Amino acid sequence: MVMKFDYTKIRPGVSRPVIPIELGYNGIFVRYLALIDSGADYSLFSAEVGARLGIDVLKGKRVSVIGIHGDSTYMYFHDISLVVGSHTYEVKAAFMPDFQ
C-alpha cells in the first residue's frame, strides 16, 4: 500500500509534508493537519489535542525527554486511532503539555 501526498507550501520557497489526518479516542474524532516525519519513532501531539479527544493526558505512560536546548520535560503515551486517507491504524501516540 502506497499513499502519496503533495507537499504543502508553508511560505514562498518552503514546502513541508503536511497531511490531513483524524485522531480518534472513545468515539471522539478530531481532524488535524500533521507534519510527517517518516523517521520518527512515535507520533507526538500537543496535550491540547489530547484534551479535545477527551483524554486525561497526564494519566498516560509518562516518559522523560530532553529537547534540543537540553531542557527535560515529559510526554504521555495513550492508545488512539489514527486515520490517514481511508486507512485506520491503532497506535500509541505521545502527548506533550509543553509542546511548541
pTM score, two decimals? 0.85
Task: Give the start-end residues of each E strand in the chain.
Answer: 8-11, 14-16, 18-25, 28-35, 43-46, 61-66, 72-84, 87-96
The tens digit of pLDDT for each residue in 52-65 reads: 999 999 999 999 98
Q: What is the mean pLDDT of residues 68-82?
A: 92
- The reported pLDDT for the residue numbered 67 is 78
List, in order of start, the domains of the chain with CATH numbers.
Answer: 8-96 (2.40.70.10)
Share of the chain above pLDDT 70, in %: 97
